Structure 1
Amino acid sequence: MFHCFVHQCTSSTKLNHLRLPNTSNINNSKNDFDAYCTLLEACIRSKSLVKGKKIHQEILRNDTHIANSVLLEKIACMYISCGEIGLARNVFDKVPQPSVFLWNALIRAYSWNGPFGKAIELYYQMVGLGVEPNKFTFPFVLKACSGMLALEEGVDIHNHARRVGLDSDLFVSTALIDMYMKCGCLDDSHRLFNKMPKRDVVAWNAMVAGYAFHGFHDETINFVLEMQREGMAPNASTMVAILRWWDKRSLLDMEKAFMGIA
């Protein structure tokens, strides 16, 4: 019955409408471990907190699987996907050796939802334990640095990214530009931008948003115009970045930069 439910669960797009079966007769076989993994993955995809909690409770009742690192990581990811970061952290702290993926997932959750300091603390905890950050770690933790204007930590993280050869990665570079811009280091941002071997619209938007944030109207306009000359069309995020910080008079000056954009 349990494995029939697993099949139904993974083939249905409406997990929240399904009922968990009576799992009292589940044994401790590898098949049941695989079933728990499959169910948790379905909960992650559907962001089903209620079902995920029930599966978590069932695993807690199963002494064989309660300390399984793979299941603990999936439970933590389930809580992260459902926005329950506190519960995710509780599970995370029980994982003997979290994977880089799980470190990144929790750092990202704190970077997007706060408190930002928790993301930075996790990064340093990760490094202190000898876990090597990857190209996803740096953008996530740098976003937290941007959020709390933590320039000292941002510079330290930049140096770490440089040491491991990831500072020129497109996403890392863009996160660095945003961090330096938010912290008022406009020249550093500009130097990084000019050194980028490849620049996408997100990198351009980081520069536009930074200049707009600090009230440098001419520089903002020039960047939007240069962006167009380089064949990079401004998008909705470009406009939002400008509208957020500019007054009506400034926006009239911007009109020429957006001619032909609808």
Structure 2
Amino acid sequence: MKDLGPINKFLGTNCSQDKDGNITLKMTDYITKATDAMDNESKKPTYNPMSGGKDYFDITSPPVQSIKAYQSIIGQLLFIANAGRPDVAFPVSFLSRFLKDPREVHMDAATRIMRYLYTTREYGIKYRSKSKRQLTVYTDASQGAAWDMPFSTSGYATFLAGGAITWCSRRIRSTICLSSTEAEYIAASEAVLETMWLYNLLEHMGYPLSENLLMIDNEPAIKLASHPILHSRTKHIKLRYHKIREAVDDGIVKIEYVNTLDQVADILTKALPQKQFNYLRDKLVSMC
């Protein structure tokens, strides 16, 4: 074993470190290679990965010519979304639902994501060495959206040293949420489990954290997490989702309200207008 010096590339991720100890992770080379294998259409400038105005369940849309080609693109996109580009986690997760029977509308959507990634290939995540030792977790949910019925979509993003370290966008399949409060509460509970795991992991590594912040934009969900109120309307919620109350009581997390416009996790639950998407995108990833 020998020391090869500072890392500059790992599993398709470009890594760099400046003299102040700040670390930047980008997917530039991987994205460029992926788009080079496609036609020139994949390099057309695009600034929003998904259009919210299309009907992705349009059964009149013709099937794709090659299912394997669609699956290959989604596979590449899944790797990119999981490895370093949380801003495309929701649209990629959504399109992966159609792997067995993709239509042209889905292939067009996947190509659009590739165009967006190529346009923003120099964007990445930056971690700052002098940041406070604290996890900041944003959590959100989308309840009642047409493309999720009858389920809801939850999302969370955890930040450490000024950059996202874990993120998730997925449907709540364990139950059918009857209100936005229930969806937000369940999403927050899932985020707390991730927070507790990171908290224990970092403590085991000798990197103890101070009180962690859980950012929620739904006030009834915050009250439900802090105090066991509204029992008659929430008694159907499974006990496993009340783990958030234990974390609050133990001082592992502190819940704070965040304005919906600043809720970073919103980008992980739905397709957003370009202006709002770009604003939240710059909080997750930025030009590096």
State if a TM-score over 0.5 links the two structures.
Answer: no
By percentage of residues, which structure has more strand?
A: 2
How high is the TM-score relative to the length of structure 1? 0.29
> Larger Cα Rg: Structure 1 or Structure 2?
1
